[in-house]
Structure 1
Amino acid sequence: MSWCTVLALACVALPQFVLVEGARGIFSSYTSVLDEKECTCNCCIRELRRPSEVTEQAKYKCALAPPNDSRIAAHGCTETCTVVNDPVFTQASTIEMNRFCFHHCRPTLGGMQTPFKAAVANQNRDALVTGGSLLDAECVSIRPEQLSQAISADGNGKDAQLQA
């Protein structure tokens, strides 16, 4: 018998043996099922911080985009999302997307400072030539060295932008 024939017979006989013996697979004992989508900064936009949150180095923060934003449908964003083995939220597997945006994402630089200013700038004739301004700005994942600054002892996270 050639080794190909032996391998083919083993592939056919092995599943039947496993079923007869009632053996369980490697991943047959999950502790829970995560129904929410994975958290991502693609669902977050840059927004101004509240007056009490503003410092010299931090004027913006990331938050979940509003419900009518095109990113919500494009990325399947929801109010809650799933994190697995997360260093910031050690006690949770499902969190609010706003918390994820705040602790795991950082605002991009540039662009207009407020959506109102961007909307006004888009009414100028120059916008026909320059393409205008975005009403909001994207958020991106924080750098790995900043992630350690977002970790708190109680597992709820802290503002990494204020630590920098």
Structure 2
Amino acid sequence: MSGSSRSDTRGVVTVERVAVWVLAALAVTGLAALAYGPGADLRTAAPDVTVDGSYDADASAVTVSHAGGDTLTATSTTDVAVVVTDASRNATTTLVWATEARGLPVSAGDSFTVDDPSVDADGDGDYLDGDGSVGFYLDDGDTVAVVWTGRLVGAPDERTATLGTVTVGDGA
């Protein structure tokens, strides 16, 4: 009986070894899929966000909105900025929409309004009525870009990406 017990033990050891090799091969395959498969280029990855915008000529203000897609959270986002470019002077102003310390998460339905100092829209004597203001008048051709800076989970480095741009007078 002891002879058959020994061969049974050898069979179990062989099955265990095969199982370990199969699991190791699956782990290597999984890592390769992460490195070379869909979504593998995390160096250039950015959140998938739809940005909408509108221009209110009476208030001389542009509102950009998170219209859908990924929620921008403190886990992967350092900051969300609104970069306004004065097309006639090629000058830019960067305004902070949200940071880890203030305003995150930014999700669908959230918005940020940029105004210029030409109109006191709420009549309070202060011409800076939006969430952020620029030191020039908003005119046709000026652009308002929503810029994300952060590091997606699994990405090697922090990066910056423009999530969307609105042009004043171009349907906005």
* TM value normalised by structure 2: 0.24
* TM value normalised by structure 1: 0.24
Query: By percentage of residues, which structure has more strand?
Result: 2
Query: By percentage of residues, which structure has more helix?
Result: 1
